[in-house]
Amino acid sequence: MPNPKSAVVEDEISRDRLAELLNDDLAREYQAIIGYVVYSQVLSGAQYMDIANQLEIHAKQELDHALIISRQIDYLGKMPAVVPKSVRTSEDPKEMLRFDLENENETIRNYRDRIRQCEALGEYAMAEQIRQILMQEQDHQIDLATALGIEVPDVSGGPKGRTLGKRR
């Protein structure tokens, strides 16, 4: 196992920093669970029936993600966070779906970073677990974009231009 205290050069992420970032990911997973639990039940109208059913499936997958991420944080010797990122609500179904989509975009950006960071630390198994989660998040993104009748957003670049391990 790599020693985090030795030779922390610039641009190299530490295991402590990775645990912190994973706790942010966990807070986003909690947010997603809550969002999907609520939205799947309040979305009404015949045109939203399919997506409401899909959101119920998302809710359960997000719980699986939260469990996987917590396990990684514990493995890194840190305590998993208990506070979700805030959940936005709206009376307007389209707006609800847009909030979900924005959250998924943010989640995808972060997991792409996290995979690179895990690999930089030699944590290949962790990177693989996150890759599995990322695949489901991309499915969520597609489900939401499809329900909104829009193109799947390209989040490969984005404002958080990727410099490995830099604090933001």
Residues at the contact surface with Fe ion, assessed by CB under 5 A: 29, 62, 65, 137, 140
Evaluate whether 72 touches 57 at the Cβ level (below 8 Å).
no
> CA-CA distance, 168 to 148, in Å (whole number)?
31
| Nearer to Fe ion (CB atom), residue 4 or residue 31 | 31
| Nearer to Fe ion (CB atom), residue 113 or residue 137 | 137
Give least dist CB 2 to Fe ion, A: 27
| Nearer to Fe ion (CB atom), residue 16 or residue 64 | 64
- Taking the alpha carbons at both ends of the chain, their separation in whole angstroms is 26
Give least dist CB 140 to Fe ion, A: 4
152: left (phi over 0), alpha (psi -120 to 50) or beta: beta
Give least dist CB 167 to Fe ion, A: 24
